[in-house]
Structure 1
Amino acid sequence: MSLLWPPARRSILALLALAASALPAVAQESRLRAIDIFDAALAKFEADRAALRQWQYHQTLTTHQFNSRGQVVAKGTWKSIVRPGDPSPLEYTAKSMEGQLSFFKAEEQESPSAGQPSQRSPQSAASEKNQAESAVEAVRKYNLRDRYLWERLPDESVAGESAYVLSFSPKPKQNTNSREERFFGLLAGRLWISRADSTVLKAEAALQSPSQLFWILARVTTFEVRYQLKSVSTGPRFLRPSKATAKTVVSFPFSSVRQQHWLTAGSFEPRSPRGSASKSAAAAKPGSVDR
């Protein structure tokens, strides 16, 4: 006589069969190399960038500069519209600066007038880089994939998702022909990558030793950056807001420049022509008249 009611026995057998069929997939996943996970994340990142070519998002950068006692001596905020895939400079919608921030152009202290075109020359506008696109190019240009030793760490949960965790550290021997390559060759950190779709959910990196800057006597002694996607329950996953923070210290023989940066990105919307945001803002002002 069976000790189990037939439907219950069939359910258990079905579950055992399902588990047995899943074992090869689990074993295969456990054998995934760190570099394979990174490659999948890079492919997902580029696919998302392509999907975002129909979209734009709003970005806010806030920077504080501190003295040796940790007091804020200057600060600035820049709000802009980012159009992924567009090599043109960012379209700034608001700018403000208090005090003198090192490494920032003086002309950026002026807030743009709504609807007025920039007064910069075509040459200067062409030479200004879209920071978001420069970051994308850096992965390929400086061969970041092969510049590091990659290691897979135990999986973790980030923003309610199961994530692979990868660590990266500089390879001992690298070909570095530029200051940028030497800088990237000194970074180490970790990546948290979604097991569901290979999205980079979280990242952190820091300089392991000082890096020479463009000036002979200047060195970056501290560079720490953290990035994280925010969790959302609706909408396409590639339209997720994000936030990043960075801490930098640039040392000179008799002084240091200490800065903290906060970057937020979100408010995704269908792409609009450049300048339309300023015109909309002008039209929304009380008493404004279209001419």
Structure 2
Amino acid sequence: MCFDISPAYLSCKKKQPFVSLGLLLLLVVFFSPPSAYSSSMELRENNSPLSLSEILKRAVYQNELMTKAMLGMQYQEKIEIQKLDYSGNPLKTDRLEFLVRPGEGFLLSADPRSGTLAMRKLSTQEIQKAQAANMVSDYLSLKNLLPRFALSYEGMGNWHGLSSYIIRFDPKPNQPYQSKIEKLINSIQGKLWISNEDFSVLYVEGRLPKPVDMAWFIAVVDKLDVHYHARKEKDICGHLPSFFDLEYRLKYLLGQTHVRQVISMKDFKLPLPIGGD
């Protein structure tokens, strides 16, 4: 269940390795450079209420800006992977902490059965090559994720003192998919908290309302809980990723895989100007 990117492998478009859900979320949500977004943000006129479509359009735009900006920042990242028993008690824990510099990304390969970890440092160009080789997909970017779900506006709320729009998402019946990962993603329900100030995604919670068959009756995901937090960093506009928590349980004929992956990010810094200390 490891995801390997070697120079030779990058040139091969036919191989389709299995990518763990935690790895896919890590790579796409935090490290994938976004494509250009054609619509511009317009100021709200006369403080009139925004439609759901307008809220989402602005959130997608802000998410694209944030993802692209992160490739030019330096920050500390910590990754923790726990192998759990059926009840969720830790059996084995691995921790990694490192500094991400501007233009870098880190690819985490994990085998949740053994709890082993491997890490590779990637440049922006290598990440783009991986995308071009169809080794990673951007279907978890906000602009591609939202159309997969039935969306509804639940009103204004408050998240840690910040005014926010609350958007509910539910699975669409008979939503098409091209992989087991997409099938699993399509089955999640939950809510988004979107900042009323800058339209950053502040918080996400998601879960599986019912088990999902991954290989007929042989393998079933019966638990998937996702939580994402953002935080406003000092001297940096917008809210940046702070905490990502994913727990999933895959049951199969001869056993199960129960894993929790926690990613925390902090100390974001803009690159120093030429000649800066």
Same fold (TM over 0.5): yes
Partner of 1:162: 163
In structure 1, what is the equivalent of residue 144 of structure 2? 143
Write out per-residue CA displacement over residues 182-220 of structure 1, whole angstroms, 9 at most, x where no aligned residue: 112101110000111101111111122223447983222
Residues in 1 aligned to 2:99 and 2:65: alpha-carbon distance in whole angstroms: 21
Match of 1:51 among 69, 76, 84: 69
Distance 1:34 1:246, change over 3 A: same
2:235 alignment partner, SS class: coil
Give the Å deviation of 1:76: 0.6
TM-score in terms of structure 1 length: 0.63
Aligned CA distance change for structure 1 residues 271 and 210 (closer, same or farther; 3 Å): farther
Identical columns (%): 20
Alignment correspondent of 1:205: 206
Q: 1:60 to 1:216 in 2, by over 3 A?
A: farther
User: Do residues 35 (structure 1) and 35 (structure 2) align?
Assistant: no
After superposition, the Cα gap between the structure-2 partners of 1:209 and 1:201, relative to the gap in structure 1 and judged at 3 Å, is same
1:102-251 to 2 correspondences below 5 Å: 102=113, 106=116, 108=118, 137-139=138-140, 143-213=144-214, 217-231=218-232, 234-238=234-238, 240=240, 242-251=242-251
Structure number with bigger Rg? 1
Match in the other structure for 1:25: 46
1:107 is displaced (CA, Å) by: 6.2
* Number of aligned residues: 221
Structure ranking higher in strand proportion: 2
* Change over 3 Å in CA distance of 1:201–1:107 after alignment to 2: closer
Distance 1:144 1:128, change over 3 A: closer
CA 1:264/1:89 → structure 2, altered by over 3 Å: closer, same or farther?
closer
1:78 aligns with 2:96: yes
TM-score (norm 2): 0.66
Q: What do you get for the CA RMSD once the two structures are aligned?
A: 3.8
Does the CA-based 8 Å contact 1:155-1:164 persist in structure 2? yes
Q: Which one of the candidate residues 81, 84, 93 is aligned to 1:63? A: 81
Which residue number corresponds to residue 284 of structure 1? none
Structure 1 segments unaligned to the other structure (5+ residues): 1-23, 119-124, 273-291
Distance 1:214 1:47, change over 3 A: farther
Question: In structure 1, what is the equivalent of residue 268 of structure 2?
Answer: 268
Change in CA separation of 1:128 and 1:74 when aligned onto 2, cut-off 3 Å: farther
Describe the shift of the 1:263–1:53 C-alpha distance in structure 2 as closer, same or farther (beyond 3 A).
closer
SS in 1 for 2:218: coil
CA apart distance, 1:161: 1.3
Say which SS state the counterpart of residue 174 (structure 1) adopts: coil
CA distance in 1: counterparts of 2:240 and 2:147, whole angstroms: 29
Distance 1:231 1:212, change over 3 A: same
